[in-house]
Structure 1
Amino acid sequence: MIVNHTIVDVRAYHLSHRFRLPPRPQSRGSAVKRDMVLVKLTSSEGVVGYGESYHGHAPTTVADFVNTTLREAVLGEDVHDVEGISFKVYMRYLIGAGLGAAVLHALSGLDMALWDVRGKALGVPAYTLLGGRRREFRAYAGGLNLGFQPPEELIDEIERLRESHGFTAVKLRLGDTVENDLLRVERVREHFGGDLEIMGDANLGYTYSEVYRLLPGLADNAVTWLEEPLTRDNIDGYADMRRRSGVPIAAGENLYGRLELKHWLGRRALDVVQSDCSKTGGVTELKKIGDLAATHQLRFAPHTSHTRLNHAATLHVMSALPSSYVYEADASHDNQFHEELITAELDVVGGLVRPPSKPGLGVTVNEDLLDRFAGIGGAAYAVDRRPR
């Protein structure tokens, strides 16, 4: 029997930690701290669920929107009415203002928490509610690592990841100079041969002309995809690049919901859809995006963010979409959110991973540590990019 659960409280917390290891340069600068927005939702039956909202480089704004506007909008709503709540938020706050980052990031955490409460209330994992089963996925090593270090250090790091977790695929950070990026890719390919799948992520770091200098070398080294080489507003550039590229183009992490993604699909501007559960509207919207990708016969490989909440939610959605391609594991060296604050059964073993099997998202949050991880002001990245 389904017991009526209504929403009696919603709270959001801006949380942060500084890195204990020296930051590694990337195209957007060197990361100096990690931010996230934790959303906590409580039902009338005392069931508590959690979600993660991407910070959007304005975490206090995202948290404040959850704690004021979204909280007021959803108090008293049925926790099982995820579609109705999502539609209500869209009609009230998105239809006029547009698909703004902060609003959709806030909705993402709320929606994630709803699915966590629903699963816990019914005693089943989220993938069951989504119409899936506990599927196993190949994982690639992502996260804030594999950056602009010398090729020998990069190879050593990949060796360690392969030995510890069995990774058969890695994502290299690109967006340095074209020459440096190609040198790293060539050395990694030369060392590992065909035993390693290589993805490349430029983090929006290239100019149009640089991409065309880069693509032939990536194709020669059998790179699986080039991720976000240009800024998110350059749909014409992406569409032209995809037509002329011998390397599949991946994007979607910074596109807001299926309503924005549909324009990219209509222009045939990408090959791999990488929407992020903590950015694009949560579990409800990510599932729809995965269905949309399958309709267009595109690979669905969601981007993942800072904590195991996002990672678990992503795997639950992927498990309801048999066409899902590959999972992005966080192989970062220093993620204290994973290590201490938020835990789940998400270990990569033999290069493979499955979603947690416990009810809801299957994630445990240690609320005793919230004060210790209280939000830290300032930018998450130091601006140290070298001039071109």
Structure 2
Amino acid sequence: MIKIARVDAFAIRVPILEPIKVAFGTFRDRPMVLIRVTDVDGAEGWGETWSNWPAVGAEHRARLAVDLGQALIGKEFGTAEEIFDHLTRETEVLVLQTGEVGPVAQVIAGIDIAIWDLHARKLDEPLCRLLSQKAASHVPVYATGINPDRPEDFAAARKAEGHRAFKLKIGFGRDLDLQNIAAVRDAIGPEAHFMLDANQSLTLPAALDIIELAAKHDITWLEEPLRVDAANNDWWLLAEFSSIPLAGGENLRGGQFDEWMARGELKFYQPDITKWGGVTGCMRVARKAVQEGLVYCPHVFGGGIANLASLHALAAAGGGGWLELDCHPNAGRELILRDLLPVSDGGVPVPDAPGLGTSVDLSDFAPFVTWASDNTLATQRKAG
């Protein structure tokens, strides 16, 4: 049984030297919300909640996590899945009342990750093996976050570090996009996997145009070329006439995954484990995708817990997908991962320590905390 005694949350903002550009905006710091769940035996588990946008999102989600976590304290549950379904069901009216479907889903995801970590630690098992006894010990990765400013230099540096797959951001204008696609392909060589991400920024004609001109560069997938809520017919036409497989999923949730799989436009499915679903929801999507001959490639653009939870889910799901690996400096990732995920020949090992495979030292984050439910961290920050 799982009986929770406390849920804490920590809003963290890590400054960055160079802003990160995507089609819909610019990151000027790296926010992260960590969630710690403690059970009645004193065992802990760690989760992470998506908080990239809006700029004030981290503090809001951290407070919301503590508030929603109160509904779990003192109750007994049989499994992590039961808790996920309970929280989802119990917040349905709250979502209708507030319109905050995103923040609520993201907080539930973070709590779910923490509970899975706690449960696996208590069983002294790596999370991936709790999810599947056939879990992989090594998974392929791709370097992500390749910006439009001289992307060939960034890609070449990642190749030298051991990466063999790369994803370029597009959506910055036809000419610049095509110039960057050609430059990156030249930098990474003909054998590397090469993905494109438009972040929902293209119209149907623009997407068809870029596909026609980029296809000669051997593109593995085009991610979110259209808005997720674009007309079904637009997505059908794009898939019908595209010579490049389509990818998406970071902005889907719940039953939407079933609807999209039934429609058949996407080959690669990319739920974000901190944005919706946590381990419970994303494993349901991943298993169905693999069963239907599709590819599960978790979207990741957060801190170290997000990376590890996504890695364990992918290792358990199988199916030949890649783990998205952000290669920009980010203490929110580096202080948690440390040397756990060395890239070699395009892949990383899956940690075999219990749970996610790491422990979080809150004192490392004291300089970056902007809100905390635990007074200990607040005291450390003031002392620093």
The normalised TM-score by structure 1 is: 0.88
Change (3 A) 1:344 1:262: farther
Q: How does 1:209-228 map to 2 (within 5 A)?
A: 209-228=205-224
Other-structure match for 1:139: 141
Contact 1:294 1:300 in 2 (8 A): yes
Which residue of 325, 329, 332 maps to 1:337?
Answer: 332
Aligned residue for 2:112, secondary structure, equals helix
2:379 aligned residue: none
User: Kindly tell me: are residues 65 and 291 of structure 1, through their superposed partners in 2, closer, same or farther at Cα, counting changes over 3 Å?
Assistant: same
Residue range with higher mean Cα deviation, 85-94 or 364-373: 364-373
Deviation at 1:223, TM superposition (A): 0.7
| Residue of structure 2 equivalent to 1:317 | 313
Q: Distance in 1 between matches of 2:187 and 2:123?
A: 50
Q: 1:239 to 1:94 in 2, by over 3 A?
A: farther
The one-letter code matched in structure 1 to 2:280 is T
Deviation at 1:59, TM superposition (A): 2.2
Counterpart in the other structure of 1:375: 370
Report the AA paired with residue 313 of structure 2. V
The alpha-carbon distance between structure 1 residues 191 and 371, as it changes in their structure 2 partners (threshold 3 A), is closer
**For 1:352, which of 347, 352, 367 is the aligned residue?**
347
Q: Deviations over 1:364-385 (max 9, x none)?
A: 2121134311239xxxxxxxxx
- 1:340 shift after superposition: 2.7
- Distance (whole Å) between structure 2 residues aligned to residue 286 and residue 251 of structure 1: 14
Gaps of 5+ in 1: 377-388
Q: Counterparts of 1:19-38 in structure 2 under 5 Å?
A: 19=16, 21-38=17-34
Letter paired with 1:128: R
Q: What are the superposed Cα offsets for residues 280-310 of structure 1, whole Å, 9 maximum, x if unpaired?
A: 2100111100011123211111111211111
User: Normalization by structure 2: what TM-score?
Assistant: 0.89
Give the structure 2 partner of residue 16 of structure 1.
13
SS at match of 2:359: strand
Encode CA deviations 1:64-117: one digit per residue, 9 max, x unaligned.
Answer: 22111x212211234652121111112211377469111110011000000111
In 2: Cα distance, 1:124 partner to 1:79 partner: 20
Aligned letter for 1:41? V
1:5, 1:45 within 8 Å by CA — same for their partners in 2? no
After TM superposition, give the deviation of residue 43 of structure 1 in Å.
Answer: 1.0
Question: What is the rounded CA distance, in whole Å, between the counterparts of 1:370 and 1:63 in structure 2?
Answer: 15
Match for 2:86: what amino acid? K
RMSD (CA atoms):
2.0
Say if 2:120 is the partner of 1:119.
yes
Per-residue deviation, residues 155-184 of structure 1 (Å, max 9, x unmatched): 2322221112x1111001111111211111
CA positional deviation for 1:360: 0.6
1:60 aligns with 2:62: no
* Pair 149,88 (structure 1): closer, same or farther in 2 beyond 3 Å: same
Deviation at 1:60, TM superposition (A): 2.5
One-letter code aligned to 1:138? P
Aligned residue number for residue 169 of structure 1: 165
1:294 aligns with 2:284: no
Q: Which runs of 4+ in 1 moved over 3 A?
A: 77-80, 95-99, 190-193, 341-344
Q: 1:7 aligns with which of 4, 7, 14?
A: 4
Quote the residue 1:39 is aligned against: 35
2: CA distance, partners of 1:160 / 1:201: 20
Choose 81-90 or 98-107, whichever is displaced more: 98-107
Match of residue 244, structure 1, among 234, 241, 264: 241
Q: Which range is displaced more, 34-43 or 340-349?
A: 340-349
* Cα distance in structure 2, aligned partners of 1:361 and 1:268: 33
Give the C-alpha shift of residue 199 in structure 1: 0.4
Structure 2's unaligned 5+ residue stretches are 372-384
CA distance in 2, matches of 1:141, 1:80: 38
User: Percent same amino acid among aligned pairs?
Assistant: 27
- Contact 2:156 2:188 (8 Å CA) reproduced: no
